[in-house]
Amino acid sequence: MPDRADARDTVQSLFATGLRNAHAMEAQAKQLLNRQIERFGDYPELKSRLQQHLEETDRQQERLDQILESMSEPASTLKDAAMSLFGNLAAAAHMPAGDEVLKDSFASAAFENYEIAAYKSLIDLAQFAGATEAVPLLRRSCEEEQAMADWLSSRLHNVTRQFVTQATGVAPAAV
Contact flags string 19-58 toward Fe ion, x per CB under 5 A: ----------x-----------------------------
Distance of alpha carbon 147 from alpha carbon 24, whole angstroms: 21
Q: Which of residues 146-175 bind Fe ion (CB under 5 A)?
A: none
Determine which residue in the list 20, 61, 115, 122 makes contact with Fe ion, applying CB under 5 A: 115
9 vs 150, beta carbon nearer Fe ion: 150
Shortest Cβ 62–Fe ion spacing (Å): 14
Shortest Cβ 53–Fe ion spacing (Å): 6
CA 47 to chain centre: 16
Contacts of 113 (CB under 8 A, 6+ apart): 149
Q: Give the H/E segment covering residue 77.
A: helix 77-92
Determine which residue in the list 119, 145, 152, 159 makes contact with Fe ion, applying CB under 5 A: 145
Decide if residue 104 touches Fe ion (CB under 5 A): no
Shortest Cβ 145–Fe ion spacing (Å): 5
- Residues contacting Fe ion: total by CB under 5 A: 3
Would you mind telling me the total number of residues written for the chain in this entry? 175
Binding residues for Fe ion, per CB under 5 A?
A: 29, 115, 145
